[in-house]
Amino acid sequence: MSQYSAITGWGMYVPEKVMTNADMERIVETSDEWITSRTGIKQRHVAAPNETASTLSIAAARQALERAGIEGKDLGLIIVATVSADYPFPSTANLVQHALGAQCGAFDMQAACSGFLYSLSIAHQFIANGSVKHALVIGVEVLSRVVDYTDRATCVLFGDGAGAVVLSASDQPGGLLGFTIGSDGARPDLLWIPTGGSAEPATEQTIRDRRNFVQMQGSEVFKFATRVMGTAMEEALANAGMTADDMDLFIPHQANLRIIEAASKRLNLPSEKVFVNIQDYGNTSAAAIPIALCEAIDQGRVYPGAHLGMVAFGAGLTWAAAVVQWTAPIATQENSYKAAKAGVKTGTHAEQEKVQV
């Protein structure tokens, strides 16, 4: 029985349409200056009418499968983390399973922005106990469908996208080394969609009151996030027998640049060890970390042996963190992708040398 679970494939997809801060200025009373200084966001991607959580997921998943060198039929498990599924039921994972030609169990996981790391920790259990060889873990959101474009306090923050990884059984030490998941449901109203569930079914009145859209008490969530990001990351590191100093790259949830900076400061991390791409995507909730991971790989910041720390927080409230020691040979796996995206540098010379060690 293999006890290690390694990321062997990765992929991302974001819709083509971009909404800049200037576009937001035309919709609500806001400014590029406010959005940039309070959040770090410059633009976000928005799904086309024919795009859904499952179509975004499938695009990201196909890339991840290709990089892992496997097909849908090789998968033993599919988990889709999302709060913006195609339907209340069936799950988006069911749709993804069918499209990929997989013949395995598939389910959606709901822990809001923490959903991808929750899902990674679940997939890890299936692999560590020997029941699954390859698991597909997807984080996806089409938040543009559930965001209230008359509420400037929320609509400027969120974006659409998907990221996916293949987690595979391995005898080689590394992969997911430690994690933590947490929940505090005392204040569901801090970040929620109040209507549409069994507590408050949709009526003409609730829809008129726009209660079928995201509502958030931003500053309360902000305070929680700055508290929990550092402690959750430290807990996952401790579970892996490590400290923040051992991290080569910190890939935090991309919700607010100020929150990322506060967490990095608490963990005493220099900026070169912190990955940030919130400026390009806004907050894509469950998709944020796998998208950031893909871009970090693309930028040559991930290499075999590197210790990656990932941490997220979100509605619930929830939080989760994971430590992964990278094992996939990026230098070779990236070649086909590099060819497709000519000119993109995927690894510095020093990192390539580190691969040889």
Residue nearer to ligand UT7 on the CB measure, 43 or 256: 256
Residue nearer to ligand UT7 on the CB measure, 34 or 107: 34
Rounded Cα distance, 326 and 329, in Å: 9
Give the footprint of ligand UT7 on residues 172-191 (CB under 6 A). Answer: 191
Number of residues engaging ligand UT7 in binding (CB under 6 A): 21
Which of 310, 275, 306 minimizes the C-alpha distance to 119?
A: 310
**Tokens at residue 53, please?**
């959580």
Least distance from ligand UT7 to the Cβ atom of residue 257, Å: 9
The catalytic position among 104, 113, 155, 294 is: 113
Q: Does 283 bind ligand UT7 (CB under 6 A)?
A: yes
Rounded Cα distance, 212 and 200, in Å: 10
Q: Does 153 bind ligand UT7 (CB under 6 A)?
A: yes
Identify whether 253 is a catalytic site residue: yes
Question: Contact 45/283 with Cβ under 8 angstroms?
Answer: no
Q: What backbone phi and psi angles, to 5 degrees, belong to 308?
A: -105, 130
Question: Contact 262/276 with Cβ under 8 angstroms?
Answer: no
Give the footprint of ligand UT7 on residues 9-38 (CB under 6 A). Answer: 30, 34-35, 38
Q: Does 98 bind ligand UT7 (CB under 6 A)?
A: no
For residue 18, the 8-state DSSP code is E
Q: Does 121 bind ligand UT7 (CB under 6 A)?
A: no
Q: Does 92 bind ligand UT7 (CB under 6 A)?
A: no
**Helix, coil or strand: residue 81:** strand
Q: Which residues lie below 8 Å from residue 147, measured CB to CB, with a gap of 6+?
A: 154, 155, 158, 213, 214
Residue nearer to ligand UT7 on the CB measure, 33 or 245: 33
Identify whether 155 is a catalytic site residue: no
Exactly one of 68, 75, 225, 260 binds ligand UT7 (CB under 6 A); that residue is 225
Q: How many CB atoms lie within 10 A of CB 99?
A: 15
Q: Does 320 bind ligand UT7 (CB under 6 A)?
A: no
Q: Does 113 bind ligand UT7 (CB under 6 A)?
A: yes
- The residue count of the chain comes to 357
Rounded Cα distance, 130 and 170, in Å: 10
Catalytic residues: 113, 253, 283
Which residues are near ligand UT7 by CB under 6 A?
A: 30, 34-35, 38-39, 113, 152-153, 156, 191, 216, 218-219, 221-222, 225, 255-256, 283, 285, 314
